[in-house]
Structure 1
């Protein structure tokens, strides 16, 4: 068990934190080689051992920690407090910036859309028609009624990436989550902020802007399991709208590959448009068409067809060629 945990933290340092968060890269490598930290993690359930969850829980308990020595002191002196947070909370990084890589797929859909997010957290990604976008050589400002208050998400887009000229026509939206967060609850908002990596001040500011907007039009997010409760939510969608079901960095937390594959089969057999933005190893039956896996990127797919590599926080989109290579 401990070697498996250590490998997980090394992968996180190398593929997720490297070049994006020097603090988390340093702490993850430290955890991977610390018997004290590994022992602490091994006493937790397997689904509560994620790096993002550990680091956010330590920040929740002890504030910003950047050096391994201080991190060790927290794990030693306040282990039970950290463990309590990790058992009660989950990794629910509600990164609204990911809407910048979703919009090239949502905007071309004609007619009204019923938008459903699986693993919605607080539902901030359910508001793509409210935000503004900057793809470098192309911009789409927020709708007039939200100008001045909605965040504008910057995303580096490769040549060939579709350039939306209008926001999608979303007439109904809902989210599904095991433990929905509430944008009007101070404790839930604080947890969302603690999940933002320490150096990412711009992400934190954009998150706060998105939360501020969401408080005026709170997304409808219900408690439920994506493996069981999605059909009931789909049934609530208006009949005159195209149902679009999407998820970002969610199915990776479904450990059983058979359950992932069953979910994919359910999506492909449904009448909905299915948009998946996950690590390339989540659905290997589809990702092989995208060529060599990029473990530092997500793979954006529509109905199982790979379309682009995307930055985990929506900061980049690299459109695939027609051959998928």
Structure 2
């Protein structure tokens, strides 16, 4: 797929009806030969819309007006490109916890959580947040995460977490102002509710900083997994991470994680973790596929706003 097609698809399938600013911007970039040419000078994994928009916002640039955005990117390309080369889309979207909880709560308790691509580790505290599934509320903490469930009943309990750790090439510390400053512009411009729950989740993590290990998802995963307590159910999980990993490393990770004790819980795009005979998604908007130990269970929305169960 070309860079232009990537931006057009992002605007149509991910931003449409969710972020008017990013929908407008993506349509414009898809037809902007000058900006597309600049993006083509970057490594393939550094060209994606979320990353570009987040870096521009981090640097104080505009994303509301496509023409002003164009002028800013062209005038400041050197600084933007420097940031793009060293950063990744570490959105750390805690809303995704809402579709992880039903699966985790059904496993033998307690669980030992090991998140791959953990960023600041906010999703490791999913047992301390609250959830609203329709008219059912689970938990008493903040933030309250809302998720529309289709085809499955809400969980009866939160998972009991005995141990939690995260693995990331560049872990972020919620106690470091510079790291927190990168999390904020990754939240889409209009999404104040996501910004508020990011702050609430960061406060939870800052009060009890998680174990975050700087390392590679293949080379360093076995050693970290071995530290999990033997009397807890190990769950290695990741959400919207593997699309940033080269295909050969992605395949090596999948082979590795299948051989670890415990379970592998994944929410990734259907062309990133491939499954046979998937049903049609519930709509033409973008969905990930939630799977447990390689078995697909549900379609999930990228920010955790909904899950359609078919497993």
Same fold (TM over 0.5): yes
- Structure 1 residue 111: Cα displacement: 2.5
165, 171, 178: which one aligns with 1:174: 165
Q: Secondary structure at the match of 2:39?
A: helix
Taking only aligned residues, the RMSD between alpha carbons, in angstroms, comes to 1.5
Aligned positions of 1:120-199 closer than 5 A: 120-142=118-140, 147=141, 150-158=142-150, 160-199=151-190
Separation in structure 1 between the aligned mates of residue 139 and residue 111 of structure 2, nearest angstrom: 20
Q: 1:229 offset after TM fit, Å?
A: 1.0
Contact 2:62 2:68 in 1 (8 A): no
Cα displacement string for residues 2-58 of structure 1 (whole angstroms, at most 9, x for unaligned residues): x71111111111111111111111111111111110111112221211110100111
Question: 1:241 Cα shift?
Answer: 1.2
Aligned match of 2:262 in 267, 272, 286? 272
Matched with 1:17 is 15
Count of aligned pairs between the two proteins: 309
Distance 2:93 2:6 in 1: 22
Written as runs of structure 1 = structure 2, the 5 A alignment for 1:216-295 is 216-256=207-247, 258-284=248-274, 286=275, 288-292=276-280
Q: Return the TM-score normalized by structure 1.
A: 0.91
* SS class of match (2:59): helix
Deviation of the 1:301 alpha carbon: 0.5
* Cα offsets for 1:261-316 (capped at 9, x unmatched): 332222222222110001111122x2x33223566111100011111111100000
* Structure 1, gaps ≥5 residues long: none
Which stretches in structure 2 are left out of the alignment for 5+ residues? none
**SS at 1:66 equivalent:** coil
Does residue 202 of structure 1 match 2:173?
no
Offset of 1:255 from its aligned partner? 2.9
The question of whether the paired residues in 2 share the 8 Å contact of 1:64 and 1:198 is answered with: no
**SS state at 1:57 partner:** helix
| SS, match of residue 127 in structure 1 | helix
* Distance in 2 (alpha carbons) for counterparts of 1:52 and 1:195: 7
TM-score by length of 2: 0.95
2:78 is aligned, of 65, 77, 80, to 80
